Structure 1
Amino acid sequence: MKYFEDLTVGDKASFGSYPVTREEVLAFAEKYDPQPFHLSDEAAARTHFGRLAASGWHTSAMTMAMLVAHMKENPSAGLGASGIDELRWIKPVFPGDTLRCETELIEKRISEKRPEIGRTRSRMTVFNQNDEPVMRFIANAMIARRPQD
Structure 2
Amino acid sequence: MTSTLAAAAALPETHTPLYLDDMAVGDRYTSGEHAMDEAQIKAFAAQFDPQPFHLDDAAGRATLFGGLAASGWHTAAITMRLQVTTGLPIAGGIIGAGAEISWPRPTRTSDVLHVVSEVMEVQPSRSKPDRGMVTVRSETRNQHGDVLQLSTVRIVVPRRPGAATAPTAATGAAS
Structure-1-length-normalised TM-score? 0.91
Asked whether the 8 Å contact 1:25–1:95 carries over to 2, the reply is yes
Q: Does 1:94 find its partner at 2:108?
A: yes
Q: 1:78 to 1:32 in 2, by over 3 A?
A: closer
Asked whether the 8 Å contact 1:78–1:142 carries over to 2, the reply is no
Runs of at least 5 residues in structure 1 that lack an aligned partner in the other structure:
none
- C-alpha displacement at 1:79, in angstroms? 6.0
Q: 1:140 to 1:76 in 2, by over 3 A?
A: same
Q: Identify the structure with the greater strand proportion.
A: 1
Deviations 1:101-142 (A, max 9, x none): 100000011123312111100000010111011110111111
- C-alpha displacement at 1:16, in angstroms? 1.8
Q: 1:57 to 1:75 in 2, by over 3 A?
A: closer
Alignment partner of 2:73: what SS? helix
Q: Does 1:81 find its partner at 2:96?
A: yes
1:76 & 1:98 partners in 2: Cα distance?
27
- C-alpha displacement at 1:77, in angstroms? 4.3
Q: 1:75 to 1:119 in 2, by over 3 A?
A: closer
- C-alpha displacement at 1:3, in angstroms? 1.5
1:119 to 117, 126, 133: 133
Runs of at least 5 residues in structure 2 that lack an aligned partner in the other structure:
1-16, 164-175
For residues 3-22 of structure 1, what are the structure 2 equivalents within 5 Å?
Answer: 3-22=19-38
Alignment partner of 1:30: what SS? helix
1:24 to 30, 35, 40: 40
Alignment partner of 2:58: what SS? helix
Asked whether the 8 Å contact 1:126–1:133 carries over to 2, the reply is yes
1:25 & 1:2 partners in 2: Cα distance?
32
Deviations 1:62-87 (A, max 9, x none): 11111111168x462446121212x1
Q: Which residue of 1 aligns with 2:9?
A: none
Asked whether the 8 Å contact 2:29–2:87 carries over to 1, the reply is no
What is the number of equivalent residue pairs in this alignment?
147
Asked whether the 8 Å contact 2:122–2:135 carries over to 1, the reply is yes
Q: Which residue of 2 aligns with 1:133?
A: 147
2:147 & 2:69 partners in 1: Cα distance?
15
Asked whether the 8 Å contact 2:139–2:147 carries over to 1, the reply is yes
For residues 6-85 of structure 1, what are the structure 2 equivalents within 5 Å?
Answer: 6-70=22-86, 74=89, 76-78=91-93, 80-85=95-100
Tell which structure's C-alpha radius of gyration is larger. 2
RMSD over equivalenced CA pairs, Å: 1.7
